[in-house]
Structure 1
């Protein structure tokens, strides 16, 4: 019975870590766009991203739509990465960051499949992958440090 409780705890930690990581990833995406728009000779569409948080705050359904859409386009690959990390007890922060960046980039490619053909979308892809790195790190802080369905030996003995 204790094993079932431990596995349920891990599943809840993975879910909570994912939901918080998506939120922090979206916030970091906006921060990256704002920082890049302050650079000299920045593309004008970077400036448009400065007003996105205001629109999300003024129209909460828009914010919920963006959050839900992000969960939908990154959910499958994140589930695969989380299962790999849990099954093999992968607890390295850089690996979770790599998983987060890959999941974010794959989600972007689901929304814009012609992105590799458009040179302007390469910048967006790299910015979204950077936000995914941040989200992967946040996921590691919440659920990745203790990854693994098998309980640690110290916990089993105690």
Structure 2
């Protein structure tokens, strides 16, 4: 019975970690565009992307639409990555960051399938992948540090090892 409780706790942690990571990832996209728009010779639409979140704040249903669209676009691949991390007890932060970047980039590819062929979209894909790195780090902080459906058999005694 304790094992079922532990697995349910892990599932809840994965879900909460994912939902918070998506939110932080969306904030990271805005911050990255804001920073890049201040660089010299930055494309004009970088500046537009800096102010787009104002519309999301003014019209909350639009914000919820963007949040849920992001969840739909990245949910399947994130579930696969989370199951791999939990099954193999993968707990390294850099691996979760790579999983986050891969999930974000693949979600971007679902919106723009021809992005790999369009050099103008490469910068956007890099920005989205960078935000995925941040989201992966947040996921690791919430759920990834203790990844694994199996509980440790022996806990270390403080002062030893």
Instruction: Name the TM-score, length of structure 1 as normaliser.
Output: 0.97
Matched with 1:91 is 91
CA distance in 2 between partners of 1:72 and 1:127 (Å) = 19
**Separation (CA, whole Å) in 1 of partners of 2:18 and 2:50:** 25
Within 5 A, what are the aligned runs for 1:89-128? 89-128=89-128
Counterpart of 1:53 in structure 2 is 53
Whole-Å Cα distance in 2 between the matches of residues 49 and 35 of structure 1?
11
Give the match for residue 17 of structure 2.
17
Deviation at 1:53, TM superposition (A): 1.4
* Alpha-carbon distance in structure 2 between the residues aligned to 1:154 and 1:20: 31
Query: RMSD in angstroms over aligned alpha carbons?
Result: 0.7
SS in 1 for 2:30: helix
1:81 equivalenced with 2:81 (yes/no): yes
Once residues 41 and 121 of structure 1 are traced to their aligned partners in structure 2, the CA distance between those partners, rounded to angstroms, is 17
How far apart, CA to CA, are the structure 2 residues paired with 1:13 and 1:117? 37
- Unmatched tracts of structure 1, length 5 or more: none
The size of the alignment, in residue pairs, is 155
Question: What SS class does the counterpart of residue 65 from structure 2 fall into?
Answer: helix
- Give a deviation string over 1:26-77, Cα, whole Å, max 9, x none: 0000000000000001000000011111111100000000000000000000
Cα deviation, residue 152, structure 1:
1.4
Q: Which runs of 5+ in 2 are unaligned?
A: 156-161
Q: Distance in 2 between matches of 1:125 and 1:142?
A: 25
Distance in 2 (alpha carbons) for counterparts of 1:112 and 1:154: 48
For normalisation by structure 2, the TM-score amounts to 0.95
Rounded to whole Å, the distance in 1 between the matches of 2:32 and 2:129 is 11
Deviation of residue 154 (structure 1)? 3.2
